[in-house]
Each structure stands twice: as C-alpha cells, then as structure tokens.
Amino acid sequence: MTPNADPTRTEHRLITVQQHILQEQKRFPGASGEFSWLLSGITLAAKMIQAKVRRAGLSDILGTDGETNVQGEIQQKLDVSANEVLAHCLSVRESIGVLASEENEQPIMVHNNSPAAKYAVVFDPLDGSSNIDVNVSVGTTFSILRRPDEAHLDDHESWLLQPGRKQIAAGYVVYGSSTILVYSVGNGVHGFTLDPAVGAFVLSHPNMRMPDQGKYYSVNEAYCDEFPPRYGEYIDRLRHGTLGHKYGSRYIGSMVADFHRTLLKGGVFLYPPTTDQPDGKLRLLYEAEPRCVSRRTSRWNRARWNASSAGCRANQHSPTNAAGRGESSRTRRF
C-alpha cells in the first residue's frame, strides 16, 4: 500500500475467512492455532471442490461412479472426488483424530493415536448429488466435535456420536451462482463469498440473522400423500395463510441450497417422514445437526425452543442407537 493510500477504502477493508478465523481465535486466550489450521483445511477443500464443480461439464466428472455408498445411493463421480479432496485436506491436520464422511462405510481414523488429536470432523462432501448433472446448486456440509475427555483414542463412536449441542463449529458451502461458505463457532453465523479474482473467501454476510417472517415453505410436495397428516395440515396452513401469512413454495432438492435460502429469507424447510423413509431422509449427523448450529446461532432466543423441539424428535433416532444397529441415523427435518 503506497504511503498515502487510504486503508479504509473498500478493497483495502476486505476480510478473508482466514483473517476472520484468526480474529475468532483471539477470543480463546491460550488457543494453540490448531483449530484455525483445521478450519483452513475445510476452506482449502471448498476451493478445490468448487473448481471441479465449475468445470464439471468440461471434465469427465459428471455422471455416476457406479459404486453404491453406505446410504444405498449410487455415488456420483463428483461425490467421490469431493470426498477424496476433503479427506486429503483434513487428514494432514495433526489435531484431527477421526473423520466421518457420509460417503464412507466406516469413519477414517487419522491421528487418533496422537495426543495432539482432539477433534473429529463430520462431513457430507457433496450434498444434493441428484442436482450435479443439471447444473443446479449443490453443497458441502461439515461439523466439528471435540474428543470427550473420557473417550478412548481408538473408540471412534465416542468421538463422533455426541449430542448435537456438543458441536464446537459447523457450516456449509454452497456451489451456486457464486461459491459461499457459511460457518459458526458459536459466535454468530458468517458468510464468505469466494472472490475468484483474489482466490479467497471474503466476508460478504457478517452476522447472518434469519428474518422473523419468511415468504416460502420448502418441501418435496410430491410426497405429500405419504406424510403423516399433521405435516400435510401444516403445509396447507402455510399455503392458505391461516398462520397469519400466505407462503409461496420453493424447493431446489439440495438441502444446503434450500437451507441457505431459508436462513437468508426466512420461511420453513422440512423433510417429513415418508412411506419409504419413515424416519425422514436426511442424515442426522451429516445433514441435520450441522444445520442446527447455523440455525440456533442465527436466531438465539427463539431457536433454543425450536432447536430443542427438533432435537427432541432427533433424539428418538439418536446416533448412538442407530450406530448400535449399524445404520447412519436419519431424522425428520423441520
């Protein structure tokens, strides 16, 4: 910057996600920097995945990979590639003991035998896979847990299967008209847009707050006849304005994108139980709980109530029980 440059001018005031993470770190006296280094693994992976998404039509990365994942879904090539990128960028972080990916049958034990390892990272490398080939927004979700003091280093369940309120950070990335990364470490929810010119995530949505009143409800209405009656009745009330406001409908079919719109514009996103998915379709660990952090942190007082009701429902399908049954726990999402 030249001596008489004005540091307050916009382009000199941009805040990158790395700067923001380091600012957050200052709130924890004695912080070692390991957590910030961990988060930088996620931001790096997000940049690498977005580069693949942006070029998807030009490189042989569209279509299925032919393999079936633990959820019983045919894996998309981009699912597999995004999974490898995240596993690589995170496994070089010494502070991570365990990684759990929605695409993997078993958690990946990384540095779990090292005393420095105290975090577990849970992620859905590419959410909204059914939208990849049609150029509709997809996303990545992540959540970070601290190893419980009483947990055995090699007992991955105790690292991972903790109540949602134990998450110490969570967030998501939307690969849409622009690439936006949203995260929270419990001190507000902040959004960063990737500036291709700078190659960095730049603060664009500080302290995101969900509006009190939204315009849209978001649900796959094709399953309406399969939902338990109270969900159909609720959607009717939203549609007819008997809850004091007439709602329109928006549904992308990529939960991260539908959630992001709901966080910005308000409204309701729901994935009730269906005949095929009596426990709901969305995965508690990979999809629902990380969203709770952003939702709760962006609407503190009211959210306590909401989160707890959602949490109550979720607990019926607590990850521990599901793990005991060898399933990945699903939940009805509201």
User: Which residues of this chain interact with ligand FBP, rule CB under 6 A?
Assistant: 73, 102, 124, 127-130, 220, 253-255, 281
Listed residue (154, 127, 129, 131) closest to 143, CA to CA? 127
Q: Is 103 helix (H, G, I), strand (E, B) or coil?
A: coil
324: left (phi over 0), alpha (psi -120 to 50) or beta: alpha
- Minimum distance from residue 73 beta carbon to ligand FBP (Å): 6
Token pair belonging to 146: 């601290």
Q: What is the DSSP-derived secondary structure letter of residue 16?
A: B
Residue closer to ligand FBP by CB (options 124, 289) is 124
Task: Please spell the DSSP secondary structure of 310-325, one letter per residue.
Answer: HHHHHHHT-HHHHHHT
251: left (phi over 0), alpha (psi -120 to 50) or beta: beta
Listed residue (142, 143, 128) closest to 53, CA to CA? 128
Task: Give the strand pairing for 96-101 and 108-109.
Answer: antiparallel
Q: Is 114 helix (H, G, I), strand (E, B) or coil?
A: coil
- Residues found in the chain: 334
Q: Is 122 helix (H, G, I), strand (E, B) or coil?
A: strand
- Residues pairing with 80 in the sheet: none
- Minimum distance from residue 59 beta carbon to ligand FBP (Å): 20
Q: Which amino acid is at 76?
A: Q
Residue closer to ligand FBP by CB (options 156, 333) is 333
- Return the sign of the alpha-carbon dihedral for residues 118, 326, 171, 126: positive
Between CA 227 and CA 218 the distance in angstroms is 14
- Residues pairing with 333 in the sheet: 271
